[in-house]
Structure 1
Amino acid sequence: MTANHLERSMADVLGSILDSDDDELLVVDPTVSVMESLVDIAADYEGDLPTLHVLADDRLLKDLMDDFLVAADAADLVDSDRMTLRELDGDVDNTLVVGEGVLYALVSAGEYVAALSADDESFITDAYESYHGMWADATPFVLRTPSLSRVRDTLDDDIGESVRADFDTVLQSLETARGDGDGLDEVTISLLVAAKNDVLLYDISKWGEDIGIASKATFSRTKTRLEEMGLIDTEKVPIDVGRPRLRLKLGDERLRTAGSDELASVAHRMLN
């Protein structure tokens, strides 16, 4: 009989399940907290991670993937074939984690989270076959965010190691990276880090468009907004042919004196 798991957090429960011997697990109808924890744990998992097939509500996935921190880690998992994301057609009574020989229902109550296991082998087999068939027929969810590994590699190659290091530090200081008032979005983060390192607007916006973060127009609009609010300054840099290009600089003393780990929090306070 597979044991129940009782922990104080969703992350601990999922970690216990991932440590099992299953090569493949289906995660059916996850909540936001389940998906956030699953992506976070899987992205840093040490050892042989089971292949994770996720069947989730497409609206939940779209909203969740607006957070660059979650989306970029999920993209890494998808690109490395450690996770698939597909759209669930309908609802399930509980969030389920299903393997060939295991079936868990995830339940939160008070200060604890539990993974309650089924012990009837024929029921587990039927559930696995049913949900695996559902997953096989489901529409793949298109994840448009570039993977975090690609972001880092291209920042190193196209912009510079110092920019990539600052970008990593800023991301590590954030709990969310979305532009809805709860945090800074990936375009704002990129521009602030570029300004900290005196990078040309042309270079950072071309990089962002090339890897799929956002269009040059989006970078330009965001730069204008940040400039109007005093977070960023620009200076013209003459070139041999054509209009001068703009070098980005931090526009406020509070930002210029902030460390990379404080840059996001200072900018967020200024924007709000």
Structure 2
Amino acid sequence: MNSLWEFDSDEVKLVISDIELMWNVVDYLWADNAVHFDIVIPEREARNVRLGFPLNARISELITQDKVNIYASEATPLSTIVFDGSQLYTLVRFGQIEQFAKSTNEGLQTSLNAEFVRITESAELVDPDILAWSELLGQLEQIVDSDTRHEFERLIEAARIDNLGALDHISVALVAAAHSGALLNDLSTWSEEVGLASAATFSRRKQKLEDSGIIYTEKVPIEVGRPKQRLKLSDAISKVEIQGEELDITREGGQNVPNTVGDTDAGSDSATEQLDTTDIAHGDEDLQLLEQELKEAIQSQ
């Protein structure tokens, strides 16, 4: 192991104490075809791996390629440890220095390696529970269109590694679809089929983007039923990029659009989770209204 992300072995064991390091691991494995990682993370962090998009989709891709196994353990590691073949390293961070320090304690190496095996034998494998990244993009192209797929991929790929777990992917998908003039119904269908968000969630986020003057919709008449909505990017928008975790949208003349479309309630661990909770809340309200209507109908008879 000559540097922070250069390994001598093609079988690496990694214990992560800081989940932010996972972004770097995924980025490394994304570019390297020869290394397989077995990773132990704290149980409390497994939820972040499952919910953080597109990190979860990338991890799902790596799992299908047999490049990584992630185990959630009740044991809480105090430091990041790497087993690179027969060598043991510990991650040292101090100021601007970040480096793996090699251990020469053979007894410690043997004990930690045995503990790693013991933990992984009893720990639960983390399942991202989402389609692999390539399959997700493939379905986006199949259900919506290739232009939307490429624009969505461009925006996501432009994000910094350490923001891959917190992107407002719903707004990104809507803006990508508006850029290519896709149908809202097709995008919602794709989102529900791949497990990103419900149609109701997309509808509410679309409304926020419309209210902000970022996108608008055109009615598309059909032979039977209500007209469909085609998403369009506002003529006043000159550039759309990813800045940090958010969309960076610029109007003609260089004026930036305040990013309020991705705001979620304080205390929520995940934008996806918070939005799904909102869907449930709306469903409860609808159920209560239906129950009240039934009661009034019964009383009037």
**Normalised-by-shorter TM-score class:** 0.7 to 0.9
Are 2:222 and 2:228, in contact at CA under 8 Å, matched by a contact in 1? yes
1:36 matched to 2:23: yes
Identity %: 25
Please state how far the C-alpha of 1:79 moved relative to its aligned partner.
Answer: 2.0
Residue matched to 1:92: 77
Question: 1:222 & 1:253 partners in 2: Cα distance?
Answer: 20
TM-score normalised according to structure 2 size: 0.75
Residue matched to 2:113: 128
State how 1:159-238 maps to structure 2 within 5 Å.
159-175=144-160, 176=163, 184-238=167-221
Are 1:40 and 1:70, in contact at CA under 8 Å, matched by a contact in 2? no
Question: 1:139 & 1:90 partners in 2: Cα distance?
Answer: 12
**Could you say what the CA RMSD is over the residues aligned between the two structures, in angstroms?**
2.5
Are 1:146 and 1:213, in contact at CA under 8 Å, matched by a contact in 2? no
Q: What amino acid sits opposite 1:39 in the alignment?
A: V
Question: 1:132 & 1:187 partners in 2: Cα distance?
Answer: 39
Question: 2:22 & 2:122 partners in 1: Cα distance?
Answer: 21
Unaligned runs of 5+ in 2: 251-255, 261-301
Please state how far the C-alpha of 1:63 moved relative to its aligned partner.
Answer: 3.1
Q: Of 39, 48, 52, which residue of structure 1 is paired with 2:34?
A: 48
Residue matched to 2:122: 137
Question: 1:137 & 1:258 partners in 2: Cα distance?
Answer: 50
Are 2:247 and 2:259, in contact at CA under 8 Å, matched by a contact in 1? no
User: For 1:271, what is the secondary structure of its paired residue?
Assistant: coil
Please state how far the C-alpha of 1:122 moved relative to its aligned partner.
Answer: 4.5
Question: 1:178 & 1:227 partners in 2: Cα distance?
Answer: 25
Distance change (3 Å), C-alpha of 1:225 and 1:173: same
Please state how far the C-alpha of 1:57 moved relative to its aligned partner.
Answer: 1.7
Please state how far the C-alpha of 1:177 moved relative to its aligned partner.
Answer: 5.1
Q: What amino acid sits opposite 1:44 in the alignment?
A: A
Distance change (3 Å), C-alpha of 1:240 and 1:177: farther
User: For 1:32, what is the secondary structure of its paired residue?
Assistant: coil
1:118 matched to 2:91: no
Residue matched to 1:69: 54
Are 1:52 and 1:84, in contact at CA under 8 Å, matched by a contact in 2? yes
Are 2:81 and 2:91, in contact at CA under 8 Å, matched by a contact in 1? yes
Residue matched to 2:94: 109
Report the more deviating stretch, 84-93 or 260-269. 260-269
Question: 1:235 & 1:63 partners in 2: Cα distance?
Answer: 37
Q: What amino acid sits opposite 2:188 in the alignment?
A: S
Question: 2:72 & 2:240 partners in 1: Cα distance?
Answer: 41
Residue matched to 1:258: 239
Residue matched to 1:270: 258
Question: 1:269 & 1:70 partners in 2: Cα distance?
Answer: 26
User: For 2:14, what is the secondary structure of its paired residue?
Assistant: strand
Are 2:241 and 2:249, in contact at CA under 8 Å, matched by a contact in 1? no
Report the more deviating stretch, 240-249 or 190-199. 240-249
Question: 1:149 & 1:140 partners in 2: Cα distance?
Answer: 22
User: For 2:66, what is the secondary structure of its paired residue?
Assistant: coil
Distance change (3 Å), C-alpha of 1:231 and 1:177: farther
Question: 2:165 & 2:23 partners in 1: Cα distance?
Answer: 14
Q: What amino acid sits opposite 1:33 in the alignment?
A: E
Please state how far the C-alpha of 1:189 moved relative to its aligned partner.
Answer: 0.8
Are 2:148 and 2:177, in contact at CA under 8 Å, matched by a contact in 1? yes
Question: 1:159 & 1:171 partners in 2: Cα distance?
Answer: 17
Are 1:27 and 1:96, in contact at CA under 8 Å, matched by a contact in 2? yes
Are 1:234 and 1:246, in contact at CA under 8 Å, matched by a contact in 2? yes
Post-superposition CA distance 1:62-113 (Å, at most 9, x none): 2355442322222211222211122121222311112551211111112211
Q: What amino acid sits opposite 2:231 in the alignment?
A: L
Q: What amino acid sits opposite 2:114 in the alignment?
A: E
Question: 1:166 & 1:108 partners in 2: Cα distance?
Answer: 37
Distance change (3 Å), C-alpha of 1:210 and 1:27: same
Q: What amino acid sits opposite 2:143 in the alignment?
A: D
